[in-house]
């Protein structure tokens, strides 16, 4: 082991070695051939093949849902893969075909994985975390009597091992510091050092390692990765921060919709190119978007100033946005950047602050009822959790909110002293929307929980339409529903916008979907609006807005040259 590292250390660094690598003189550490995977008939990965050479850093990029996670799950032998029917194709490690039954097999074979979320014990020191469950043990007399469980820790050896792992990283990390007292960057280093302590580690997979780091921490991490690569360890680096990928990777692999779109050396690659590879299907010209001249502009219906929302995983930091009356505004961006926090915060489902004005009148935040009364409605991305009463019938689901907010289907008794729920009126309302939105069901009393995803989504839309809102927020309206239902949902939104003049703000992870229906598209990045584009804007512009501020700056510099 030690010999191999020593040899590779003498080797020239990654970039200089490239000429040699292309000649295939070195056996790849990892080789994927025709790897594919489908969950319940939905294809998420198709015929992916690429090689990773020793000491090479491969950047794996792709939008959310491009198949990166699935690919890593397969590689790491996660049990979820086997439980859902295994995968296609073959994976070889150092020339030998492998098929891992569990992550432990993958670890034994020399693959280290660093996840986006930390899996560290906060109350332990860096050393203890690095060597967790692999501690150096010292035998005592009790071992002879009761077996290995009675051995004690050899602290001295453990410290040396931990320092060695940290040394390989080349970062200033205090091995005796408690993890809970560390800055976030050091936690990430501890995670990596843990993988390095495994003597046989040949391949390191890092899933969005810089997502939680500050810029300087990220830089330190990147240089540490270069040092590791120079020691002969192959690295798969997954990130949506494209400038980081271009800064350190020898090779870039682009996944899109489960297919390998491009595998290319990082030579003369520009951010723009990668961004467009990542997001861009060549869009068949959507005839459904409004021509530019007919797009509503001017009179703002909703004005947002300095909005922040504390929604876990989707924090909104500072959003200023103005929505014109009658338009369909799309909100896009990568997962975790805060696009979902926007509607959830305005509708009062998560703590929020800032100023929101509807028709010039200020709308109080953190009060769901007030926003509903003001004339806004929300179709949540969490259909089953927030959107529906799964145990109640379609009629309840559609009529309930309108009943509470607008008094729909309510009969006043004794001069309004009692507000009687009219089951007949609820049924009629439900029947009206079942017909209007073509909801497939056995009748208005069918439990919402028994409907298919697409029909559940239609019920959620009907619930919002029943409020006759001035402004409708729709969040991920096509998530988890099939293609046919998607089309219907989008058509319905378009129809309500055109026929009733309902202003719609639609949040979606699927850029193509936004570009097929919206009048303008705002991209949210790191909790604020990165930019607003018309739907016809070139695809790489969208990609750049999503790729982060630094990437945008770098692209601007490229363009200036």
> Applying CB under 8 A, which residues contact another protein?
347, 349, 368-370, 372-373, 378, 380, 382, 384-392, 396, 400-401, 403-405, 407, 410, 418-421, 449
Tokens found for residue 504: 């719609």
For residue 403, give the nearest of 425, 431, 384, 383 by alpha carbon. 425
Q: What is the largest CA-CA distance in the chain?
A: 92
Dihedral, CA atoms, 283, 285, 287, 288, nearest 10 degrees?
A: 20
Pick between residue 26 and residue 386 the one whose CB is nearest to another protein.
386
370 vs 366: CA distance, rounded Å? 9
> How many DSSP H helices and E strands does the chain contain?
21, 24
Pick between residue 179 and residue 377 the one whose CB is nearest to another protein.
377
User: From residue 169, how far is each of 18, 224, 304, 334 by CA, in Å?
Assistant: 22, 5, 45, 30
Exposure string over 507-546, b if 16+ CB within 10 A, otherwise e = bbbbbebbbbbbbbbbbbbbbbbbbbbebeeebbbbbbbb
Q: What angle do CA 189, 269, 21 make, to 5 degrees?
A: 70
137 vs 176: CA distance, rounded Å? 18
Pick between residue 262 and residue 406 the one whose CB is nearest to another protein.
406
Pick between residue 466 and residue 521 the one whose CB is nearest to another protein.
466
Name 275's Cβ contacts closer than 8 Å, sequence gap at least 6. Answer: 242, 540, 542, 543, 544, 546, 547, 551, 555
Q: What angle do CA 437, 442, 447 make, to 5 degrees?
A: 90
DSSP H helices, 255-314, are: 271-279
CB 374, min distance to another protein, A? 11
Tokens found for residue 5: 């590292």
Pick between residue 62 and residue 348 the one whose CB is nearest to another protein.
348
> With 0-12 CB in 10 A as exposed, 13-18 as middle and 19+ as buried, what is 414?
exposed
463 vs 438: CA distance, rounded Å? 14
Q: What angle do CA 369, 346, 362 make, to 5 degrees?
A: 75
Helices 155-169 and 184-197 pack at an angle, to 10 degrees, of 110
Name 434's Cβ contacts closer than 8 Å, sequence gap at least 6. Answer: 394, 441, 444, 462
Name 506's Cβ contacts closer than 8 Å, sequence gap at least 6. Answer: 328, 329, 330, 331, 473, 474, 475, 477, 493, 514, 517, 518
DSSP 402-469: HHHHH-TTEEEETTTTEEEE-HHHHHHHHHHHHHHTT--SS-TTSBGGGS-HHHHHHHHHHHHHTT--
Q: What angle do CA 439, 445, 446 make, to 5 degrees?
A: 60
> With 0-12 CB in 10 A as exposed, 13-18 as middle and 19+ as buried, what is 294?
exposed
Phi, psi of 42 (to 5 degrees): -90, 120
462 vs 485: CA distance, rounded Å? 15
């Amino acid at each position: 082991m030690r010999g191999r590292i020593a040899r590779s250390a003498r080797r020239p660094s990654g970039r200089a070695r490239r000429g040699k690598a292309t000649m295939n003189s070195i056996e790849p550490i990892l080789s994927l051939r025709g790897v594919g995977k489908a969950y319940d008939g939905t294809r998420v990965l198709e015929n992916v093949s690429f090689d990773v050479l020793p000491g090479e850093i491969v950047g794996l990029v792709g939008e959310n849902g491009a198949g990166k996670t699935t690919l890593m799950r397969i590689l790491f032998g996660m049990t979820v893969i086997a439980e859902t029917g295994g995968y296609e194709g073959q994976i070889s490690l150092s020339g030998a075909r492998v098929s891992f039954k569990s992550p432990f097999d993958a670890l034994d074979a020399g693959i280290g994985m660093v996840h986006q979320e930390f899996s560290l014990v906060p109350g332990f020191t860096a050393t203890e975390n690095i060597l967790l469950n692999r501690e150096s043990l010292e035998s005592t007399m009790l071992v002879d009597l009761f077996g290995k469980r009675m051995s004690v820790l050899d602290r001295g050896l453990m410290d040396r091992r931990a320092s060695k792992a940290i040394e390989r990283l080349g970062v200033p990390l205090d091995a005796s510091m408690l993890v809970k007292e560390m800055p976030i960057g050091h936690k990430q280093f501890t995670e990596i050092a843990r993988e390095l302590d495994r003597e046989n580690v040949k391949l390191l997979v890092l899933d969005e390692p810089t997502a939680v780091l500050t810029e300087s921490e990220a830089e330190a991490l990147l240089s540490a990765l270069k040092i590791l690569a120079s020691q002969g360890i192959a690295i798969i680096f997954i990130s949506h921060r494209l400038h980081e990928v271009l800064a350190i990777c020898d090779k870039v692999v682009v996944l899109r919709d489960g297919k390998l779109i491009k595998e290319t050396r990082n030579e003369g690659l520009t951010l723009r190119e990668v961004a467009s590879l990542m997001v861009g299907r060549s869009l068949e010209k959507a005839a459904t978007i409004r021509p530019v001249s007919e797009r509503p502009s001017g009179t703002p219906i909703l004005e947002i100033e300095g909005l922040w929302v504390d929604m876990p995983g989707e924090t909104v930091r500072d959003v200023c946005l103005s929505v014109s009356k009658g338009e369909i505004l799309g909100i896009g961006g990568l997962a975790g950047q805060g696009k979902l926090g926007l509607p959830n915060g305005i509708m009062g489902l998560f703590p929020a602050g800032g100023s929101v004005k509807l028709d010039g009148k200020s709308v109080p935040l953190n009060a769901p009822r007030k926003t509903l009364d003001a004339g806004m409605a929300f179709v949540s991305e969490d259909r089953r959790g927030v959107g529906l009463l799964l145990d109640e019938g379609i009629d309840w689901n559609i009529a309930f909110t309108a009943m509470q907010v607008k008094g729909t289907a309510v009969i006043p008794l004794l001069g309004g002293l009692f507000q009687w729920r009219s089951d007949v009126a609820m049924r009629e309302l439900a029947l009206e929307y079942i017909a209007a939105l073509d909801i497939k069901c056995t009748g208005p009393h069918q439990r919402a929980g028994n409907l298919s995803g697409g029909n559940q989504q239609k019920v959620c839309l009907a619930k919002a339409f029943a409020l006759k809102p001035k402004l409708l927020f729709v969040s991920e309206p096509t998530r988890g529903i099939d293609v046919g239902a998607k089309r219907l949902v989008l058509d319905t939104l378009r129809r309500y916008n055109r026929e009733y003049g309902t202003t719609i703000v639609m949040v979606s992870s699927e850029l193509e979907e936004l570009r097929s229906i919206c009048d303008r598209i705002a991209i949210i990045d790191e909790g604020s609006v990165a930019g607003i584009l018309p739907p016809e804007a070139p695809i790489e512009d969208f990609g750049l807005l999503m790729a982060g501020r630094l990437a945008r700056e770098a692209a601007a510099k490229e363009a200036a040259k």
